Amino acid sequence: MGDSSIKSLIRIDDNAGPQKIGFLLLNQFSMIAFASAVEPLRAANRQANKALFEWVVVSAEGQSSTASNGMLIQTNTCIEALQECCIVFVCAGVRVRENTNKAILNLIRRLDRNGAVIGAICTGTYVMAAAGLLDDRRCTIHWEHIDGLSEEFPNLDITNDLFEIDGNRVTCSGGTASLDMILNLITQTHGAALAAEISDQLIHDRIREPSDRQRMELRSRLGVSHPKLLAVVKIMEDNLEEPLVQTDIAIRTHLSTRQLERLFRKYLDTTPTRYYLNLRLARARHLLRQTSMSILSVALACGFVSASHFSKCYRECYGRTPRAERNPH
């Protein structure tokens, strides 16, 4: 494993001018993840009253890229400009597989060979994995895509952290985690005081560490604090591929099946069986949208014994078949 410090990736030379950070935008990239990476760089220059950073934004499609929110980003910079950057972040979002091609993979491999540090924001991690740049490295990706990435690249060492630095590879889970990643870079290269000023200016009350969790705590997501109920839900979330029977869950949490039923009725207005089924179907939905796994493989990965039973449950829950989910148009 390599150094886990961003500072080790950037050569700081006050006489060399601003550090150039590159962003390669794929169509359907996440706007919030991209903006959260660029804005602290802009704020650093403003607070320092000098150019500490420059950013080079390049579209993988030519002169523009469309974000997942439909907004168009115009870029007038040629791809060759990325060669001058010390770090190049691949920025992606939804439908990353459809927007990744051989030209993009060859480009980031070439940048890597020429000495640039290669990073990823949000689902850009998938692009790095497809290019073979994450072999034997820790990496992270948005929590919604962890299952899909691990199914497609089973040998990857994927964590649930906000961002990961392993050698000359930097991966970020996306969303506002990009802000924390860049603030950590600024802390290590230009000092904690400047990073704190930027964080305050951007109304960001705390610079999170790489190992901070991506998702809200379970009690916040559910809006309940009953310890037994939280323990049951955690067990369910950890056992989606091979679901446990209700009696086993009750035994593990020292509850009777009747107490289990009452807890779910009282706090979640559903039954344990229905709640567990919905968790498995939600995972299946992610896999259908993010991978090319067969419908049967998705069904088995989510604890269903047959594709027909899976399709029936899926349609009852989402109003469409798994095949229609994969091909919405």
* In the predicted structure, residue 6 carries a pLDDT above the cut 70: no
Dihedral sign of CA atoms 263, 268, 270, 275 in order: negative
Quick: pLDDT tens for 222-250: 999 999 999 999 999 999 999 999 999 99
Q: Mean pLDDT score of the chain, rounded to an integer? A: 92
pLDDT at residue number 149: 94
- The predicted-structure confidence for 79-109, as pLDDT tens digits, reads as follows 888 998 999 999 999 889 999 999 999 999 9
Count the Cβ atoms, other than its own, within 10 Å of residue 124: 30
Share of the chain above pLDDT 90, in %: 82
- Whole-number pLDDT of residue 79: 86
- 142-165 pLDDT, tens per residue? 999 999 999 899 999 999 999 999
CATH, domain 218-326, list 1.10.10.60, 3.20.20.110, 3.10.620.30, 3.30.505.10 = 1.10.10.60
Distance CA 48, CA 31 (A): 26
The token pair that represents 147 in the structure block: 């299952």
Alpha carbon distance 291, 7 (integer Å): 35
Of the given ranges (50-64, 156-170, 183-197), which has the lowest mean pLDDT? 50-64
Asked whether the predicted pLDDT for residue 1 surpasses 60, the reply is no
| Banded pLDDT at 2 (limits 50, 70, 90) | very low
CA-angle at 155, arms to 165 and 144, nearest 5°:
65
- 38 Cβ neighbours under 8 A, 6+ residues apart: 23, 55, 57
Mean pLDDT score, 155-183:
95
Q: What contacts 24+ positions apart, CB below 8 Å, involve 241-246?
A: 241/300, 241/301, 241/302, 241/303, 242/303, 243/276, 243/280, 243/303, 246/272, 246/273
Q: Where are the domains of the chain?
A: 7-201, 218-326
**DSSP 8-state class, residue 198:** H
Question: What is the fold, at CATH topology level, of the domain defined by 7-201?
Answer: Rossmann fold (3.40.50)
Tokens 């992270």 belong to which residue? 140
Residue closest to 236 by CA, chosen among 196, 283, 204? 283
pLDDT above 70 covers a percentage of the chain that reads 94
What's residue 226's pLDDT? 95
Q: Do residues 130 and 100 lie in contact, with contact meaning Cβ atoms separated by under 8 Å?
A: yes
Beta pairing class for 169-172 and 163-166: antiparallel
pLDDT for res 251? 95
Residue type, 36: S
This prediction has a pTM of 0.86
Cα four-point dihedral sign 256, 262, 268, 271: positive
